[in-house]
Structure 1
Amino acid sequence: MVDDEGRPAVRPGAPVTSYRQPGLVLTDHRFRVPLDHARPGGEQIELYAREVVASGKGASDRAGLPWLLYLQGGPGFGANRFTGKQAWLGRAVQDFRVLLLDQRGTGASTPANRQTLPLRGGPREQADYLAHFRADSIVRDCELIRPQLTGGAPWTVLGQSFGGFCAVHYLSAAPEGLTAALITGGLPSLDAHADDVYRAAYPRIARKTAAHYTRYPQDIERAREIAAHLRAHRPVLNSGYRLTVEAFQSLGIMLGAGDGSHTVHHLLADAFVRTPQGPQLADAFQEQVHAALSFAAHPLYAVVHESIYGQDTRPTAWSAERVRAEFPAFDAGPALAGDAPLPLTGESVHPWHFEVDPALRPLRETAELLAARTDWVPLYDRARLAANDVPVAAAIYHDDMYVDTGHALRTARAIRGLRTWVTDEYEHDGLRAGGPRVLDRLLALVRGEV
């Protein structure tokens, strides 16, 4: 539903609900926005967001606060469900009214998953629908709801990972809506194809894996034993997830977080229990592996993941799978033969994900159609970025496993006035792990305080 000027209206009859958490007042907001922004009078979808302000501020103080829009990483993840002033949020509410937006298709914003997507029709209709779930549509959503919340005033955007990709598109498409842009681990290449992204990614993943085995050499044999067990027994977890060797290798995605190596180590240490039938995978291990690997809570991450790199007529065509073939060191064979450590993999989506994960199996054909799509439009305007006058600061994590540092630095140089903070103190989750300090640093950069 839109008003006479094409702006989104709050959903009719939707109550505005406010409630409290320690130190915070939260207010739920729901909006209707066009599925296809080229057809503003067409089908509408719902967006959900939570406004967060510090409880110690009076009503007049709250009303005068500037807004900060938070865009979550992913794609496919809803905004954080914080409890009180966790991570960076406590620092943010000192200066802002914060909007935690569930991007379209995520969280409570018209969820897109194996249960809801059949409402669209078959795989072709589902793929056409999901083609509207990239950064360009997300930014246009933000620009439609901004006047409803700010009275037309620009706001500051904080983009984590994929949220940073959205922020760079925001600078390209609607910089008039921004007071400043803060980006953490999310400066995309402006022109790289998905193949370029993964050719840069696999060597980083190999370095993270080597560093893990250097830190925990006992995990070399543990990983081999688990992989051999999986090859011999082909277990299906209680959830229906088929834990293959390839799926087990993909636990390497955890190595991109600050505590990821330690988490992987503890997980491997408790993999087996002794039973009358011999060693078996422990129930606790199976539950933790399922939680780490299943896409049930964020299926769009898998289905549209490579689409975020599409910018021309070239299909993404399962890029991560094709490019992996150029890196035979990731094959499990030598490790299973006892000649090498088991290679772990990282942030990549493959066709086999749609075979092993029951949350993805019904979406395999939809994903195939998206992978074959050839009508992607460019997401970044180099000329506009070169003339940018919005204050921008970006935290770039040295050897970030998820976003290539070289790509990020080239993009930083292409955006006029962007200030960088390159650090090896944090991994990709620096905003969570060191949130108050990371946010404080970026705010100081855009305000010219450092």
Structure 2
Amino acid sequence: MRVSYRQPGVVLTDRRFTVPLDHDDPAGETIELYAREVVASDKAHQDLPWLVHLTGGPGFGAARFIGRQSWLDRALREYRVLLLDQRGTGASTPANRQTLPLRGGPATQAEYLTHFRADSIVRDCEAIRPEVTGGAPWTVHGQSFGGFCAVTYLSLAPEGLDTALITGGLPALDAHADDVYRAAYPRMERKTAAHYARYPQDVERARRIADHLLTHDVTLPGGYRLTAEAFQSLGILLGGGEGSHRLHYLLEDAFVRTPYGAQLSDAFQEQVQGLLSYAGHPLYALVHEAIYGQGERPTDWAAERVRAEFPQFDAARALASGEPLLFTGEAVQRWMFDCDPALRPLRETAELLAARTGWRPLYDPARLAVNEVPAAAAVYHDDLFVDTAHSLRTARAIRGLRTWVTDEYEHDGVRTDGPRVLDRLLALARDEV
């Protein structure tokens, strides 16, 4: 039974769908998808076109908006919107340390998780689209990893799309995960340098915290083991528009005087626990590198291996040489499955996914080269999460795709200035600008 309810300016309806776990075996096991339908209150009874939103990740459910926040306000002027919790996330059938053991051991869990990539998400969309739209094509809006899914959609089922709108999510079509991280670490270094240029006092603060973590065993209140490497991974904040400021405020109150000398404050530790824990989105860690898997070559902990090619990221080396500590971000590494209690039970499962070969192709360059779906993408200059050069190369490979390359925003531009960003992309897709 569908349940509808109201928030300021909108009518919401909970939608649930049953889809095959493996779309190649439609008679086999099924999972449940949850989605939230949103329509403007004054248009609730109108026959409107549909927009399906695929959020970033992998591993995150759709945003829980209140009313007409962010880009949703612009979309609701002309669309009925479906906010889909991609398989394994949000209120869809969950996949985490509590539920995965129901399937059996690590090998069975790893095989199950091979069905949680962009190709399966696109086939989910096509499975539910007839029920949602009556069979009509819909517009897809893909943010970050959702943009990767949108490019897969254009490859696998363009007939299901009226328009494709992508924000910060044009993937490399043929890059291995190693290539992704060889491009990523220099960006992380640039983002760190920009942060220290804005907040030079943070150079010494970060070095002091790293030194403390190299000489003390610190376990956060929720059980997360905070190491110097884990501290460095807070650089993921630098990929957002407000991230540098958030990192600065986090660092400035890190220590407190105690009878036993200076210690990391409870307030600092509590904030760091919330930022680093994968308890709410374990799929991000489990399948993060798998989203780049195509062909026989395993991903094999690419971020960790490639990091060794950039010795300037070694915390002990930086402290010994008097250099600034470099932050990292958008990189899942093996040690996270030791540090994070939400991931520890899944360590062997993650190892099996990292070693897996035989990944299916996610993109079809030949089909993209003859694309007829109106498409537009916002490419954020020097995006921490998605390499700009990779994105532009892909943009050139998709026939008719129009790009808006801008340095006005970081990766979260559609969140911070959503109506303007979405309006611009719609105008580009419609050839109005």
Give the TM interval when normalised to the shorter protein.
over 0.9
2-structure distance, mates of 1:222, 1:200: 28
Please name the residue that 2:241 is paired with.
258
The residue correspondences of 1:176-255 to structure 2 (distance < 5 A) are 176-255=159-238
2-structure distance, mates of 1:285, 1:439: 36
Change (3 A) 1:228 1:179: same
Please name the residue that 2:130 is paired with.
147
Please name the residue that 1:89 is paired with.
72
Which of 341, 361, 381 does residue 344 from structure 2 map onto? 361
**Partner deviation per Cα, 1:42-69 (whole Å, 9 max, x = no partner):** 000000000000012251x2xx110000
Please name the residue that 1:30 is paired with.
16
Instruction: Give the residue type in structure 2 aligned to 1:432.
Output: R
Which of 371, 374, 392 does residue 357 from structure 2 map onto? 374
2-structure distance, mates of 1:159, 1:399: 19
Deviation at residue 270 of structure 1 after TM alignment: 1.0
Question: Which runs of at least 4 in structure 1 moved beyond 3 Å after TM superposition?
Answer: none
Q: Is the 8 A contact 1:34 1:40 kept in 2?
A: yes
Please name the residue that 1:436 is paired with.
419
Q: Is the 8 A contact 1:70 1:99 kept in 2?
A: yes
Percent identity over paired residues: 76
Q: Is the 8 A contact 1:47 1:108 kept in 2?
A: yes
* Secondary structure, aligned partner of 2:219: coil
**Partner deviation per Cα, 1:356-379 (whole Å, 9 max, x = no partner):** 000000000000000000010111
1-structure distance, mates of 2:10, 2:412: 24
Please name the residue that 1:165 is paired with.
148
1-structure distance, mates of 2:81, 2:346: 34
2-structure distance, mates of 1:234, 1:223: 17
Which of 115, 120, 128 does residue 98 from structure 2 map onto? 115
Task: Check if 1:19 corresponds to 2:5.
Answer: yes
RMSD: 0.8
Task: Check if 1:42 corresponds to 2:28.
Answer: yes
Deviation at residue 337 of structure 1 after TM alignment: 2.5
2-structure distance, mates of 1:337, 1:329: 11
2-structure distance, mates of 1:391, 1:283: 51
**Partner deviation per Cα, 1:87-121 (whole Å, 9 max, x = no partner):** 11111111100000000000111010000000010
Instruction: Give the residue type in structure 1 aligned to 2:177.
Output: A
2-structure distance, mates of 1:102, 1:25: 18
Which of 81, 98, 102 does residue 85 from structure 2 map onto? 102
Q: Is the 8 A contact 1:251 1:292 kept in 2?
A: yes
Change (3 A) 1:36 1:308: same
Task: Check if 1:126 corresponds to 2:109.
Answer: yes
Task: Check if 1:175 corresponds to 2:161.
Answer: no
**Partner deviation per Cα, 1:304-329 (whole Å, 9 max, x = no partner):** 00000001000000000111011111
1-structure distance, mates of 2:369, 2:44: 41
Instruction: Give the residue type in structure 2 aligned to 1:48.
Output: Y
**Partner deviation per Cα, 1:197-247 (whole Å, 9 max, x = no partner):** 000111011000011011111000000111111122211011000000000
Instruction: Give the residue type in structure 1 aligned to 2:83.
Output: L
* Secondary structure, aligned partner of 1:337: helix
Task: Check if 1:53 corresponds to 2:39.
Answer: yes
Q: Is the 8 A contact 2:221 2:273 kept in 1?
A: no
Deviation at residue 392 of structure 1 after TM alignment: 0.3
1-structure distance, mates of 2:319, 2:399: 50
Which of 359, 373, 391 does residue 374 from structure 2 map onto? 391
Change (3 A) 1:103 1:58: closer
* Secondary structure, aligned partner of 2:225: coil
Q: Is the 8 A contact 1:224 1:338 kept in 2?
A: no
Q: Is the 8 A contact 2:11 2:44 kept in 1?
A: no
Deviation at residue 275 of structure 1 after TM alignment: 1.8
Q: Is the 8 A contact 1:202 1:327 kept in 2?
A: yes
Q: TM-score, normalised by structure 2?
A: 0.99
Q: Is the 8 A contact 1:26 1:52 kept in 2?
A: yes
Deviation at residue 417 of structure 1 after TM alignment: 0.2
Please name the residue that 2:52 is paired with.
69
1-structure distance, mates of 2:8, 2:227: 43
Deviation at residue 273 of structure 1 after TM alignment: 1.4
Task: Check if 1:303 corresponds to 2:302.
Answer: no
Please name the residue that 1:12 is paired with.
none
Change (3 A) 1:214 1:383: same
Q: Which runs of 5+ in 2 are unaligned?
A: none
Out of 386-395 and 283-292, give the one that drifted further: 283-292
Instruction: Give the residue type in structure 2 aligned to 1:33.
Output: V
**Partner deviation per Cα, 1:225-278 (whole Å, 9 max, x = no partner):** 111111222110110000000000000011010110000000000111122222
Which of 327, 334, 340 does residue 323 from structure 2 map onto? 340
Deviation at residue 293 of structure 1 after TM alignment: 0.7
2-structure distance, mates of 1:192, 1:136: 17
